[in-house]
Amino acid sequence: MFLTRLGYGIIYFLDLIYEILKATFDVAFNGIMRQNIDPVVVEIETVLERPVSQTILANSISLTPGTLSVDLDSENNIIKVAAISPRSKEDIIPFEPYIKKMLE
């Protein structure tokens, strides 16, 4: 059980680094060079139940360039996210399944 959770933790960390790099290039190319900025605030419903899991997800969102976690409603499992351009839920929180398998 512990090794499985540790494995998902490693996968989460590697995926987080990949998403940070991908978002950095996306913000630099689309946001700065093309001036393609259309800020939005979206509410994302998460499947994570534990507050610590939701907090890690919200912090991971804030680490990726172009997105910022504005509010976390732990009771309703909703995270408000400000993004510099409209994105799908899968683009904003691609690492949610790894956090779920790692901590819940």
What band does 102 get if pLDDT is binned at 50, 70 and 90? Answer: very high
At residue 12, the 3 state secondary structure works out as helix
- Average pLDDT on 23-30 reads 88
Res 36: pLDDT: 74
In 3D, which of 56, 54, 90 has the Cα closest to residue 72?
54
Q: What is the mean pLDDT of the chain?
A: 92
What band does 40 get if pLDDT is binned at 50, 70 and 90? Answer: very high
Instruction: Count the Cβ atoms, other than its own, within 10 Å of residue 39.
Output: 10
**pTM, full prediction:** 0.91
Which residues span the domain enclosing 94? 2-103
* In the predicted structure, residue 21 carries a pLDDT above the cut 90: yes
Res 29: pLDDT: 85
* In the predicted structure, residue 86 carries a pLDDT above the cut 90: no
- What domain count does the chain have? 1
* In the predicted structure, residue 59 carries a pLDDT above the cut 90: yes
Furthest C-alpha separation in the chain: 47
- In sequence order, which residues have a C-beta less than 8 Å from that of residue 66 and are 6 or more positions away? 23, 26, 27, 31, 83, 84, 85
* In the predicted structure, residue 27 carries a pLDDT above the cut 80: yes
